[in-house]
Amino acid sequence: MTDELPLSGITVVSCEQAVAAPLASRQLADLGARVIKIERPGTGDFARSYDTTVRGQSSHFVWLNRTKESITLDLKRPEARTIMHQLLGEADVFIQNLAPSAASRLGLGAPELRTLYPRLITCSISGYGSDGPYRDAKAYDLLIQSEAGLVSVTGSPDHPAKSGIPAADIGAGMYAFSGILSALYERERTGHGSELEVSLFDSLIEWMGYPLYYTEYGGAAPARTGTSHAAIAPYGTYRSGDGADIVLSVQNEREWRSFCTIVLETPTLYSDERFASSTARVVNREALDSTVNSVFGAMTAEDLAGRLDRAQVAHARQREVADVLNHPQLAARNRWTKVDTPAGPVRAVQPAITVPGRAARMGPVPQTGEHSRAILASLGYDAAAVEELIQEGIC
């Protein structure tokens, strides 16, 4: 058995910023790829300055950029584009999420690169795609969540809300990651690279599949119900007598019968016509929730958990973010490790994709341009030439 990770030997060059492209490339790095991150001279990826909460560093940047090499290039300068093409000539994958049309203006559009480098896999990440009336629109995460309808189905009845995490960016990053993996597999069979396009809007529209079907064929959009569910009941957050928030998800009639009998200790409720089907329970949610709350409010969280376990009814604790940092499941499975950053080591969660018997790759978070000199030297530039490029602001 090899100790190498699945993508060892793969080189990724990424003109990336913010969340979507950095998430895609970081996951490739997690699996063993060498990722060369192209940043602006001086300022670098603007996500570096989103906040200063991680020992003076951005929480977004630390999350998304471990294990990468950073080189700074002013791609508006011909000398920098020459360096860029030297890197691409040795790369397997090129990712970019530059502003609309920027890659083409810089000579880094997919058609040009596919002609120059037939084995190269190109992945372009944009807000709305390469055509259509929204092609050039600004595409920050909140704007995409709004246009895709996610905000309209999230929150309470009176207050729509965006997702608390950058859902559109994460969705696009995940589709870019999986698309690149499929393209690498295809290249093994054909010998040729391929061109991929991923948009934040298309990614989130895919995630909106259930609300879209529900609306088109049901005649109305799913109601905003907080932690409840528009089509399932009982479902959502209920409070125990000692103040713990218990989350339920009763998904089928077997669980409903068991919930009535063992948890509520009211077997007759199962045959009550108000609650005799999933649809009926949703229609009569207020009465159902009143019954559940009256039982839960008289019990401790520990006693409730015992009944729910015996009934084999799905449940969880609604935890605050601070609680998740000490989640017993993460501790039991040794999911926490350390990652070095320019400000010192920080805790980091192991990659979601693990390869049994092979250690996860958890390299340092780079400083802006930290690897510029080493990368340029590897391309054949001598020390004097490298310093000249840096002094002139090209790198």
Q: Which residues are catalytic?
A: 229
Residues 6+ away with beta carbon under 8 Å from 75: 15, 38, 81, 84, 106, 108
Residues 6+ away with beta carbon under 8 Å from 33: 7, 8, 10, 11, 12, 25, 92, 93
Contact predicate 135/129, CB 8 Å: yes
Is the CA virtual torsion 92, 102, 43, 384 positive or negative?
A: positive
Residues 6+ away with beta carbon under 8 Å from 65: 22, 26, 37, 45, 365, 366
Calpha distance 103→38 (Å, rounded): 13
- Pairing verdict, β 235-239 and 195-199: unpaired
Work out the end-to-end distance of the chain between its first and last CA atoms, rounded to an integer number of angstroms: 41
Is the CA virtual torsion 358, 364, 365, 366 positive or negative?
A: negative
CA angle 193, 103, 36 (to 5 degrees): 65
Contact predicate 23/44, CB 8 Å: no
CA angle 394, 86, 385 (to 5 degrees): 45
DSSP letter at 19?
S
**Which residues are registered as beta bridge partners of 37?**
14, 70
Calpha distance 96→91 (Å, rounded): 14
Nearest Cα to Cα of residue 254 among 245, 243, 246, 262: 262
Calpha distance 393→351 (Å, rounded): 36
Where do we find the tokens 């609680």? 323
Contact predicate 54/340, CB 8 Å: no
